[in-house]
Amino acid sequence: MPVNLTSPVAAQLLPVAGVSLGVAEAGIKRADRKDVLVMQLSAGARVAGVFTTNRFCAAPVTVAKAHLAQADGIRALLVNTGNANAGTGEQGMADARASCAALAGLLGCKATQILPFSTGVIMEILPVAKIAAALPAAVANVKADNWYDAAQAIMTTDIVAKAISRQVIIDGVTITLTGIAKGSGMIHPNMATMLGYIATDAAISQPLLQQMVSAACDRSFNCITVDGDTSTNDALMLIATGKAALPEIASADSAAYAKLLAAVSEVATYLAQAIVRDGEGATKFITIQIEGGKDEAECKKIGYAIAHSPLVKTAFFASDPNLGRILAAIGYAGVTDLEVEKLRLYLDDVLVAENGGRAASYREADGQRVMQQSDITIRVVLARGTTHATLWTCDFSYDYVKINASYRS
């Protein structure tokens, strides 16, 4: 079960002026399930995004990037689950474009004004005809207060839907943000995907929108890991409709930019953490704080070495304070001039190690007490600089193996 994460309440998800959402059942992988989402945008809305760095990126990722670069003005986003349209070669590209064309026909816009997203099984051909057949129903279903259904429609192996709204007052104007995401459910039968969509009614220039989504992603989605596998389809999209009565944000030095970035980052961080809390088989949510590093790169290196260590992750699953495993992971992280005698390791408020070994004050009972918690912070003070980094991950349980070892049939 998800770690300290409950389903969003539909009534608490706020419409964002200029965005309407419709869902439908295309029967891509199974029947009786909403598996297609259309997010329709008002004219003049701006969209920017961050995409997977995987060289085997899926066809919809390539097409979405190309359509964004075209700068025709994006009028809708189209998301399907059940099939990732990845590892599908030229046919996959044609299929992603055909899906966009089908929706463009219904909305009366150009295919290049649609951004396609897919998640699900990879190396299987996208059933474009099924999707096209479901699009009229999705378009007919389009409405502003449909974020909850949208969050549900993009789920694959997520146990709970992920959605949140925030409001922030900028220059006296109330700005609304609503975001949804789906998690790294890399299950039966597929490599799946992390998808996130955040919309706001603020107006912001296109270059600043891109800068903002990159910055927000760096401090949220780029700080989480479940198993270290980077999907072929990952995407985080930020939509700014400009429908609020606030002048366009045109400078990164403005207070308005800083406020909006903070709000976008807050929404993105909630969604990113929710993905970890609902990680496959997760029973613990682990915050990894690396402090006192020379630069962010070495902090993240050490943080990810801890976060990716199967030995560390299984020890947390077992609530076993086998904390030497954390020291070992710090040691092999690849920071070649690290002086291990100088660092200190804490588990929440408990000092575990210093001077190259177990702290004199450390008592196993204290470590055990913290390990029993469902939310735990690993804190490493490197004492060699002033930079810090924070990552979030989960433990590694029987269920992770069970879920990912399931047959695809």
Measured from the CB atom, the residue of 54 and 390 that comes closer to a second copy is 54
82: left (phi over 0), alpha (psi -120 to 50) or beta: left
- Work out how close the CB of 298 gets to a second copy at its nearest, in angstroms, rounded to a whole number: 12
Q: Are strands 235-240 and 195-200 parallel, antiparallel or unpaired?
A: parallel
Measured from the CB atom, the residue of 21 and 64 that comes closer to a second copy is 64
200, two tokens: 């706001």
Measured from the CB atom, the residue of 252 and 359 that comes closer to a second copy is 359
- Work out how close the CB of 213 gets to a second copy at its nearest, in angstroms, rounded to a whole number: 21
Look at residue 17 and give its three-state secondary structure.
coil
Measured from the CB atom, the residue of 121 and 163 that comes closer to a second copy is 121
Residues 25, 131 contacting (CB under 8 angstroms): no
- Work out how close the CB of 124 gets to a second copy at its nearest, in angstroms, rounded to a whole number: 8
DSSP for 337-370, written as a single string:
T--TTT-EEEETTEEEEETTEE-TT--HHHHHHH
Cα 321 to chain centroid, rounded: 29
Measured from the CB atom, the residue of 105 and 334 that comes closer to a second copy is 334
Measured from the CB atom, the residue of 110 and 384 that comes closer to a second copy is 384
308, two tokens: 């990716």
Residue type, 106: L
Tell me which residues touch a second copy (CB under 8 A). 52-57, 84, 86-92, 121-124, 186, 189-191, 227-232, 308-311, 314-315, 317-318, 320, 322-325, 327-333, 335-336, 338, 340-341, 353, 355-358, 396-398, 400-402, 404-408
Determine the Cα angle at 186 with ends 372 and 60, to 5°.
140
Q: Which residues of 127-255 form beta strands (DSSP E)?
A: 162-170, 173-182, 195-200, 224-225, 235-240
193 is catalytic: yes
Measured CA to CA in angstroms, residue 245 lies from 9, 175, 261 at distances of 27, 9, 18
- Work out how close the CB of 192 gets to a second copy at its nearest, in angstroms, rounded to a whole number: 10
CA–CA distance, 66 with 52 (Å, rounded to integer)? 14
364 CB-contact burial (10 Å; exposed 0-12 / middle 13-18 / buried 19+): exposed
Choice among 88, 176, 193, 269 that is catalytic: 193
CA–CA distance, 197 with 105 (Å, rounded to integer)? 23
Q: Are strands 195-200 and 19-24 parallel, antiparallel or unpaired?
A: unpaired
- Work out how close the CB of 379 gets to a second copy at its nearest, in angstroms, rounded to a whole number: 17
Measured from the CB atom, the residue of 61 and 100 that comes closer to a second copy is 61
- Work out how close the CB of 190 gets to a second copy at its nearest, in angstroms, rounded to a whole number: 7
- Work out how close the CB of 222 gets to a second copy at its nearest, in angstroms, rounded to a whole number: 14
Active site residues: 193
